[in-house]
Structure 1
């Protein structure tokens, strides 16, 4: 740990001096920082890392490692920082600590995040989308309100464009019917008028009607184009679509999960007992490093409990932090059909289009997708499995605001049993969690 934040060499120099070293290099490395050990302990404790600085980084949880890396960055107060989703894997106290560090940092920063609490600390929002980079000197809440207004305006524009197109189509049809009637009338009159007079009348009528028909056809084409443009503009800001298949409503096990007297070294002597009834939603809580992911790995059969037992009744599906259910060398379409082999390809493409994986994007190997795109694909694959018990390890990581809203609604509609790890209280409340299991640190 000390090495990662740049304190490893001075700490080892101090230890060698304490053991009797008189080497000049050791004194130069230490640079008179005789309180280095206590200063380092205070620094780690402030970040919520009350651990021995010699602890190998490989033993840290995702949240602990994130805090340590951020600590190394904030140790450079004059630097402009580039922070790519630094809030991922952080618990509530970690988010608070990060918020305080950002407020103190004077060197400036560019923050990539989907956390409303952190984004509302900024006064300048840059949104990158298919339409390019949009800049707004607003708080994030103000920016979301502005986006909602844009979506409402574009919905109104599309509705008006659809009405105008229908009106133009009706007018064009009337002109075509009028042309057909005149043509029929002309054929009847051929037998009663002189050929020269008939040809003259037909020519004049044809020219006049042709101009009218041409004008209406151009008008209709323009309205079709306007409607297409309005639909494309709305699609750029329209919410994504994902929903549970109707088959999920089938009756499942009454108690999908039963944990009896389970223990693990990370739980510091705590024994876990948990029974989840069908339809219950349980939050698996605790600070970073307390063993939440370890419990989910036990349920998946990856780890064994030291004592106790687990019983899964019915079908279980899991979305872990590494999204291990996704084969990175396969396309989104192939991955979805792998877990749902009876699903028609057309239906699979429709579901992928609902999360903006259309056309060639549905056929691109998954290693080319963003973290958010892979997570939405993983959730789609979980939905297709129709699970009785759903395990989710921080599923709201990597998701932008619209995708997080979609995930919240999808999980709120899930009729099965849910065991969830998340550090976002708004997300937890939106999902409808009614039970909580806290693990000791």
Structure 2
């Protein structure tokens, strides 16, 4: 059982943003962000990498001032960002005390106010009431117990004397997250809180966030967490008017509304482009009539022919002015992901693996047989050999035991977890080179909808992690594989792209094998066969 926080102060918790703008080096990062969140609201911030999600959290926390706009917070704030604020020689206990500093301070103030009240000092009644309200708001007396519960649930180290330098990155983050879940802050700001959590830890985090009576604002690529927790979604990705969008109805409501708005955006842009083309055609026709020395039908009087020419000149000028005055106010929407048509190889076994093992990496013998259209999800804990299995199937790693037979005409593409691309080459150069090497005609890089035009012509070393991941995916698809092997395909990709990719994978005639820990992807592929390692 988790003790509830004192209701009155928590009900007053809220955050509010009004017209928040922020730029770095002249580049706009946040443009007109508006948000109101009250107690009981759980707000998810979504968007592509580099859209300002973490920046917005820092603005909410008060760590980063906005260039303009208003930021209001009510209630103490607990922040779980991606940086641990202590050094390697500090202990687990020091981190717990740091994260519970507000709790310790509240209890110390209450103790001092109690003594002042006992001594009958002037103003002691008001000081005691204020100190008691603060301690009740944090449920300070039960904070350490709540932290212990969360430490256990998150499988975090609870030895308070242990130096942080002896812990892994994941262990340190689990300790910090447990502290924040137990500290009782009415406002929680969480940046990628699911990193380094196992299934039990994810369940505990979901339970605690859903039960939190104050305000939760989180950034996460975990679509399952967003689906289970979020009541409101703020989308920082591009929109038709350049302003962020706020959606109610939880994550499902956001997905539905985003699709509808995207369709309207595309329709409005297409309508304005068509109108501009109509005006251009009218101008061209008027110019042609003037150039061809337009003549009225035979029998028309000479006077009409003489007066018609000035009218044609005026028509040309009018059409020119209309065209110049027409502004395409709606910007072009970002391209959707478009899966290239992958080939099928009807009636043939594309790949057949029997009894394969790899010493120290894939202990249990594995059998896999794939034909066109087959689907398979490989599951298992870290270290079970999922990535190893995919490398063996792709022919990039030889098994120590067993055999792998591949159809000679079958092309196999594997998307690994890490990118290893030459940094000085551009995305376009690498993609075109891959197409040329395979000797297969295929869509251009821009037609896939994976990289913006600017990114397509930048060196790989200048691309964001998310953009490099998109390029890796494009290079796999460029070879038009008969078998697609995807190792943690949701890593570093936006929720919108993952949704589009998942839909495309469900209908492609190629064989598809996925290794994933992503809970939403597992839900979305629930009908696919499983191979548990």
What is the correspondence of 1:229-268 to structure 2 with a 5 Å cutoff?
Answer: 229-230=329-330, 232-233=331-332, 235-236=333-334, 238-245=335-342, 248-250=343-345, 254-260=349-355, 262=357
Q: Which of structures 1 and 2 has the bigger CA Rg?
A: 1
1:319 aligned residue (415, 423, 446): 415
Which residue of the partner structure matches residue 97 of structure 1? 204
> Do 1:242 and 1:380's aligned partners in 2 also have CA atoms closer than 8 Å?
no
Is 2:170 the counterpart of 1:74? no
CA-to-aligned-CA distance 1:104-140 (integer Å, 9 cap, x gap): 6688664222333322423443322345551415233
The Cα RMSD (Å) is 4.8
Which residue of the partner structure matches residue 354 of structure 1? 448
> Which sections of structure 2, spanning at least 5 residues, go unmatched?
1-86, 95-145
Aligned length: 386
CA-to-aligned-CA distance 1:138-161 (integer Å, 9 cap, x gap): 233223333223223234324543
What is the correspondence of 1:44-193 to structure 2 with a 5 Å cutoff?
Answer: 45-48=152-155, 66=170, 69-76=173-180, 77=183, 83-87=190-194, 92-103=199-210, 110-120=217-227, 121-130=229-238, 132=242, 134-136=244-246, 138=248, 139-161=250-272, 164-165=275-276, 167-168=278-279, 171-172=282-283, 175-176=286-287, 179=290, 184=295
> Do 2:222 and 2:519's aligned partners in 1 also have CA atoms closer than 8 Å?
no
Alignment partner of 1:277: what SS?
A: strand
Deviation of 1:171 (Å): 4.8
Distance 1:122-1:359 versus aligned 2 partners, 3 A rule = closer
What is the correspondence of 1:361-376 to structure 2 with a 5 Å cutoff?
Answer: 361-376=455-470
Which residue of the partner structure matches residue 504 of structure 2? 410
Distance 1:169-1:360 versus aligned 2 partners, 3 A rule = closer
Distance 1:9-1:176 versus aligned 2 partners, 3 A rule = closer
Deviation of 1:256 (Å): 0.7
Which residue of the partner structure matches residue 402 of structure 2? 309
Structure 1 CA distance for aligned equivalents of residues 360 and 149 of structure 2: 26
> Do 1:257 and 1:389's aligned partners in 2 also have CA atoms closer than 8 Å?
no
Structure 2 CA distance for aligned equivalents of residues 52 and 316 of structure 1: 48
Structure 1 CA distance for aligned equivalents of residues 316 and 382 of structure 2: 72
Structure 1 CA distance for aligned equivalents of residues 413 and 516 of structure 2: 17
Which residue of the partner structure matches residue 436 of structure 2? 341
Which residue of the partner structure matches residue 274 of structure 1? 367
Which stretch shows the higher mean deviation, 416-425 or 101-110?
101-110
Structure 1 CA distance for aligned equivalents of residues 510 and 91 of structure 2: 49
CA-to-aligned-CA distance 1:241-272 (integer Å, 9 cap, x gap): 23245xx33569615131306376577xx733
Alignment partner of 2:491: what SS?
A: coil
Deviation of 1:164 (Å): 3.9
2:495 aligned residue (377, 401, 408): 401
CA-to-aligned-CA distance 1:374-424 (integer Å, 9 cap, x gap): 222111111123434432221012222321123113322443333311234
Distance 1:420-1:6 versus aligned 2 partners, 3 A rule = farther
> Which sections of structure 1, spanning at least 5 residues, go unmatched?
11-38
Structure 2 CA distance for aligned equivalents of residues 152 and 113 of structure 1: 25
Which residue of the partner structure matches residue 473 of structure 2? 379
Structure 2 CA distance for aligned equivalents of residues 398 and 101 of structure 1: 26
Structure 2 CA distance for aligned equivalents of residues 372 and 134 of structure 1: 20
Alignment partner of 1:259: what SS?
A: strand
Distance 1:41-1:254 versus aligned 2 partners, 3 A rule = farther
CA-to-aligned-CA distance 1:317-349 (integer Å, 9 cap, x gap): 32221134x33443212332443334799977x
Alignment partner of 1:73: what SS?
A: helix
Q: TM-score, normalised by structure 2?
A: 0.58
> Do 1:126 and 1:133's aligned partners in 2 also have CA atoms closer than 8 Å?
no
> Do 1:262 and 1:273's aligned partners in 2 also have CA atoms closer than 8 Å?
yes
